[in-house]
Amino acid sequence: MPDFTFRAMERSELDLALDWAAAEGWNPGLQDANAFWAADPDGFLVAERGGQVVGVASIVSYDARFGFIGLLIVRPDARKQGIGRALWSDALQSLRARLLPGNTGMGLDSVAAMRPFYEKSGFVFHTRHIRFEGRGVKGAPLSGVAPAARVPFAAILALDSEHFPAPRPRFLTQWLRLPDSAAFAATPRGTMGKLGGYAVVRKCRKGFKIGPLFAKDDASAEALFTACSAHAADQPLYFDAPESNALALALAARHKMQEVFSTARMYQGAVPALNHGGIYGVTTLELG
């Protein structure tokens, strides 16, 4: 019989999970935990043995319409003992049970070595997410960019829902106001005040990371990136861009950013019907 059990994660243990993610080189944000927890307080699991946490996973459900599995980590000294495989199976079954009937779509970001493992569970490759690294550059924001707080939250939520598989108001309420971060909205001239995109740049264990960067046109994406870059002036700057979006890759090239890491975005079920061309940078690799 296995000598480990699974249970719901407590809030303090999410901080531990993010520390483990940092040790794996994932470079989470310094203030991510509260926003992650707000997204779905029931969306995190731990594997426990002898009263100690030996594994963690996120099984976040967005409005019971879309699920995302992430943060799947086993403590190094507990690996190769069957915990990871069992934790994966429990996470997958638990998340399926939390989605509405007929809404079994799930996503994850996988390192290359794990793709065959997830394929056995029915996940199909969609695109690579490439982490680019550059450096923040001083400068005044381009015209048509303002702090996101000046834009009605409903407008940002509506635009976000065009680029993410389900509404996530609880998460966004926290994400747009993270300490040590900045959120920007693009309202290009001639659009009668309509939102052209939004972006968040937040302080991470190393440097700053942009995520998301959603934009309806390339000019808005460039303006938002420039504002984020200025906020991170003289600091390492990262964002995770879909390889399937040529404009996102061109944005990284214009700003002389280099690929440092990549994951495979995989889905079980149909690929979400999104404005994929407007996804210049995903929000996180942990929660989608």
Domain termination residue (choose one: 73, 102, 127): 127
**What pLDDT does residue 101 have?**
82
Confidence category of residue 3, pLDDT binned at 50, 70, 90:
confident
Q: Answer yes or no: do 120 and 196 share one domain.
A: no
Share of the chain above pLDDT 90, in %: 88
Confidence category of residue 191, pLDDT binned at 50, 70, 90:
low
Confidence category of residue 29, pLDDT binned at 50, 70, 90:
very high
The contacts found for 60-64 with CB under 8 angstroms, 24 or more apart, are: 60/36, 60/287, 60/288, 61/95, 61/98, 61/99, 62/164, 62/165, 62/166, 62/167, 62/168, 62/288, 63/166, 63/167, 63/168, 64/98, 64/99, 64/100, 64/103
Question: Whole domain around residue 21: which residue ranges?
Answer: 5-127
Residue 268 has pLDDT above 50, yes or no: yes
Q: Answer yes or no: do 169 and 40 share one domain.
A: no
On whether the CB atoms of residues 14 and 33 are closer than 8 A, the answer is yes
Confidence category of residue 223, pLDDT binned at 50, 70, 90:
very high
pTM of the model: 0.94
Domain membership of residue 286 (yes or no) is no
Q: Identify the CATH number of the domain in which residue 50 sits.
A: 3.40.630.30
Domain termination residue (choose one: 77, 96, 127): 127
Domain membership of residue 137 (yes or no) is yes
Domain membership of residue 287 (yes or no) is no
Q: Identify the CATH number of the domain in which residue 209 sits.
A: 3.40.630.90
Q: Answer yes or no: do 235 and 123 share one domain.
A: no
Q: Answer yes or no: do 25 and 11 share one domain.
A: yes
**What pLDDT does residue 45 have?**
96
Domain membership of residue 157 (yes or no) is yes
Q: Mind listing the pLDDT tens digit for each residue in 42-99?
A: 999 999 999 999 999 999 999 999 999 999 999 999 999 999 999 999 999 999 999 9
Number of domains in the chain: 2
Domain membership of residue 288 (yes or no) is no
Confidence category of residue 193, pLDDT binned at 50, 70, 90:
low
Query: Across all residues in the chain, what is the average pLDDT?
Result: 94
**What pLDDT does residue 103 have?**
67
Domain membership of residue 57 (yes or no) is yes
Cα–Cα dist 93/96, whole Å: 5
Residue 232 has pLDDT above 60, yes or no: yes
